[in-house]
A = this chain, B = another copy of it.
Amino acid sequence: MNVTKKVGRPKKFDRDQALLNAVGVFWTHGYEGASMKLLTEAMGINSPSLYAEFGDKHGLYLEAIARYAQDDGCAPLVALETEPDIAKAVRAFFEEAIEYSTDHESGARGCFLASCVATSAGHVEGADTLLREAIETTDVRIAARFDLEKARGTLPKDFPSEARARMLFDLRQGLVLRARAGFGASNLAANIDQGVAAVVHTDNP
């Protein structure tokens, strides 16, 4: 409502930027490994401000996941949806995934959501649901791209969109895992050709 109307001492930090910085810390250190010291230093705010703004560490974590899922993790998805040619689009998806998992601005490697799943799924309340939704949303968005091509006629009518969407997603997980383990972009690039072929191939030659 009244976003400009504010009384009292003004905040010294940008909420969204602070949240993005928190993503970086959780990404590299995991949930338990991300101490308040690391978080407040990276976010550029003091702990009382953090608590006033996000409730507690747990609340900050859930917001960080939601914030990341909102757009950052979607760079490969955007590439997939933007490139007109479907094979090139899938290739762009892989390339983008490699790019951001080996050279993210925050310095973190791999995929934030994948790291969250490993560090918090099962024992950080509320995280599971958020992460499952993010996975399902990704599957759906990829499948939608394939469905679009089927409507255009560039993919056969019996093309298994959902199954191939899952395959594309799963292949990406392998890439981001390798990236997180320290394999470089040039190493990961060796996986692309076969991946593209597997995802978009049609059985009738």
Task: Contacts A132-B182, A170-B173, A182-B132 given; indicate if A29 touches B32 (C-beta within 8 A).
Answer: yes
B167 engages A198 (CB within 8 Å): yes
Copies of this chain, tallied across the complex? 2
CA distance A169 to B119 in the complex (A): 21
Task: Contacts A29-B123, A190-B166 given; indicate if A181 touches B135 (C-beta within 8 A).
Answer: yes
Mask for A168-184, Cβ within 8 A of B = 1, else 0?
01111111011011110
B118 engages A110 (CB within 8 Å): yes
Quick check: is A10 within 8 A (CB to CB) of the other chain? Answer: no
Contacts of A163 in B (CB 8 A): 190-191, 193-194
Quick check: is A164 within 8 A (CB to CB) of the other chain? Answer: yes
B32 engages A132 (CB within 8 Å): no
Q: Count of chain A residues with Cβ under 8 Å from any Cβ of B?
A: 49
CA distance A160 to B167 in the complex (A): 19
Contacts of A191 in B (CB 8 A): 163, 166-167, 170
Minimal beta-carbon separation of A161 from chain B (angstroms) = 11
Beyond A118-B180, A160-B194, A203-B205, 6 extra complex contacts between A and B, CB < 8 Å: A30-B32, A163-B194, A167-B174, A170-B173, A173-B174, A198-B198
List the 8 closest A-B pairs by CB distance, nearest first. A170-B174, A118-B118, A198-B198, A32-B33, A173-B173, A173-B174, A115-B118, A32-B32
- Chosen A-B contacts, 7 in total, with CB atoms closer than 8 Å, are A29-B32, A32-B32, A110-B117, A110-B118, A122-B182, A163-B191, A166-B191
